[in-house]
Amino acid sequence: MTHTERLLASAALPVDLDEAAHRCLVAGFEGTTVVPDTLKRLVDRGLGGVILFTRNIRDAEQVRRLTDTLRALRPDLLVGIDNEGGGIGHLVGAGAPEVPGSFALGVADDPALTARCADALAGHLATLGITASYAPVADVQRHPDNPIVRTRSFGTDAELVSRHLRAWIAATEARGIASCAKHFPGHGGTVTDSHHELAVDPRPYEELDLAPFRAAVDAGVPMLMSAHVVFPALDANRPATLSRRILRDLLRHELGFDGVLVSDALEMKAIADRYGEAAGARIALAAGADQVIVAVPDLEVTLSCREAVLDALRCDVLTEERVAEAAERVRRLAERYATPAAEVGEWDAGAGLEAARRAVRGQGRGPAAVRGAHVVDLFPPPHPALNWGGEDLLCELRAVDPTATGTTVTGEAADPASFVDGILRLAEGTPLIVATCDAGLYPWQRHLRDALLAARPDAVRVATGLPDGGALCSYGRGRVNLRATAEALTGA
């Protein structure tokens, strides 16, 4: 018997309690057509949900076959995916509607337009048989050096974020898709990405951005996701995901949330490096989480988390009442959302580009039309935990101006001076566009930009992240963000 088989055979709890414990798990896996045997056994034991990623996506027909296969194993299995829009979306290969990131929607500041974009995303999910969306982001982009929220947020003002959350949640709910506001109680005040290390928000209680989460709860959001962030004003010892004070005292008692509280992925280093995924699963559930996500496709990690939970139940470290409470919330969620709608109506496929155009023009009057330009598109390499569909400004610029040329750069040049000289030669006699993405976080971008502007003060500046001085700003790097920017540059 293999190690995996021994683990799968190790349950010695009553069947109903064993099933309840499994309902508290959400697993990632490898594959586009075949469900791994280990995952099948977990589903048979009561696994609460699976989370899909780009690795599971080939095309729309394949995704629907995969979700049908998963539900044939267990009809109440929740099938979810991160589906924020913008440059973060795993369904590009399945024909996902193109919508800008949330910040651009906040700049346009038309909740009805936000609802149309959210409706398009939710409608598309429904056609694929995916009924849980780990979106929208409820974080307020509060700290200028925050490395992970930024244009994923609706903005820097809590009330603006709140009204767009309400619009997104209502539109998603109308499609029969479960939305999930994240990352409670907020990740926008940190200077650390919790994918890489434990993050801390040092602000006092009265300055924390709880208002959007209150708005989400009041709007009836069925799920919230916790943040792997320490808030000394709330609990100096543990990140929110593992904190009873934050998950039970604040969220359940003060905010009155009775939906499913799901953890952010346990393999993120904020949890994995300090506690380990297995201990993280046990502590999170004891603290008040209802489900924990293990997003990595290595099912051995999911099994280790499962065993930690079962062992904690056997030893009374984790109470039966707590697991039963969590499992009942998941059961109610599945009752509402596990079955896809029989019919899916149309959605507004043009809403995303409309929003992106309004966001770019929201920065103010753009430059005079630029044709035949050479564009230098500087942006960081894609985040390893977030999808990137290959978008760049040059491709979108050439779609509206075939005479455009350019260079894309995703990291520091080996010889910056030679690189700048080469760009200047290529752009000699033509307009030059210099685009950066959050250059304040990446010195190599600033250095290249400043060197190019010193030699070409006539160059047009573009920011494809948050605003950067007087540059024309797209407020995101989704394909429609970049297309709208290209149109603004060329007058198309």
Per-domain residue ranges of the chain: 3-337, 363-490
Q: What is the pLDDT of residue 8?
A: 47
Distance (Å, whole) CA 17 – CA 328: 11
Beta sheet of 405-409, edge-to-edge order: 405-409, 374-378, 432-436, 460-463, 472-473
Q: What homologous superfamily is domain 3-337 in, according to CATH?
A: Glycoside hydrolase, family 3, N-terminal domain (3.20.20.300)
What are φ and ψ of residue 276, in 5° steps?
90, 145
Which of 434, 433, 441, 432 minimizes the C-alpha distance to 466? 441
Specify the pLDDT at position 469: 86
pTM for the whole structure: 0.95
Look at residue 365 in the predicted model and tell me its pLDDT: 46
**Dist CA 401 CA 289 (whole Å):** 51
Which DSSP symbol is given to 229? E
CA distance 480 to 461: 19
Residues 187, 439: Cα–Cα separation, whole Å: 21
**pLDDT the model gives residue 89:** 76
CATH of domain 363-490: 3.40.50.10090
pLDDT tens series, the chain, 492 aa = 455 444 544 547 999 999 999 999 999 999 999 999 999 999 999 999 999 999 999 999 999 999 999 999 999 999 999 999 997 779 999 999 999 999 999 999 999 999 999 999 999 999 999 999 999 999 999 999 999 999 999 999 999 999 999 999 999 999 999 999 999 999 999 999 999 999 999 999 999 999 999 999 999 999 999 999 999 999 999 999 999 999 999 999 999 999 999 999 999 999 999 999 999 999 999 999 999 999 999 999 999 999 999 999 999 999 999 999 999 999 999 999 999 988 999 999 999 999 999 999 755 445 578 999 999 999 998 877 776 667 899 999 999 999 999 999 999 999 999 999 999 999 999 999 999 999 999 999 999 999 999 999 999 999 999 999 889 999 999 999 999 999 999 998
Which two structure tokens, joined as six digits, stand for 135? Answer: 């979106």
**Residue 363, pLDDT score:** 52
Query: What integer pLDDT is reported at residue 257 of this predicted model?
Result: 98
pLDDT at 201: 98
Burial class (CB in 10 A: 0-12, 13-18, 19+), 204: exposed
Kindly state the helix (H) or strand (E) to which residue 403 belongs, with its residue range: none
Rounded CA-CA distance 110/355 in Å is 9
Q: Could you give the CA distance from residue 67 to residue 47 in angstroms, rounded to a whole number? A: 15
C-alpha closest to that of 138 among 164, 173, 105, 113:
164
pLDDT for residue 250: 98
- For residue 226, CA distances in Å to 239, 244, 271 come to 9, 12, 12
**Two tokens at 194?**
């919790």
Q: What is the DSSP string of 252-298?
A: IIIS---SEEEPPPTTSHHHHTTT-HHHHHHHHHHHT-SBEEE-SS-
- Active-site residue set: 195, 264
Domain 3-337 shares a fold with domain 363-490: no
pLDDT reported for residue 241: 98
DSSP category for residue 439: G
